[in-house]
Amino acid sequence: MSLIPALPRSDARLLAAVGLDSPAAEIKRTADGKVDFDHYLLRARRLRSDSYARVFRAIGRGFAAWFKSIRDQRKRKRALAELLSLDDRGLRDIGLNRAGVYFAVDHGREDEPAPANVNDTPSRSPKVA
């Protein structure tokens, strides 16, 4: 929608008539017929505060993600240090070797089977004894 009105042509059709261009909103006026500037000032302030809120929310989410990555990195280092401090026999007791420690910390255990269908709901209620 252009802010500059176009000159009417004889074959011109209004886009609002076919639903492609919304008609301009009516200007808010006071009781004495003057333009209600207070309405527009309040609306502009509300839009500005909403945009500031969105910006600060995005900044907050960025900081939260950054702190979470630092926390996860420390947790990984702590797990690696703890597992690598074990001797070979201790690692073998829990089913790992030195080369598998890094994989186990990053990906979990290899021998845990993935669930066949996570979204599966039981079709029958469990029998209660």
pLDDT in tens, 34-81: 888 898 899 999 999 999 999 999 999 999 999 999 999 999 999 999
What mean pLDDT is reported for the chain? 81
Tokens (6 digits) for 18: 């076919």
State the pLDDT at residue 36: 87
Whole-number Å distance between alpha carbons of 19 and 102:
60
From the centroid of its chain, how far is CA 60? 12
The CA-based diameter of the chain, rounded to the nearest angstrom, is: 92
Is the Cβ–Cβ distance between 108 and 122 less than 8 Å?
no
**Overall average pLDDT of the 110-114 stretch:** 64
**Domain edges within the chain:** 26-107
Whole-number Å distance between alpha carbons of 18 and 104:
62
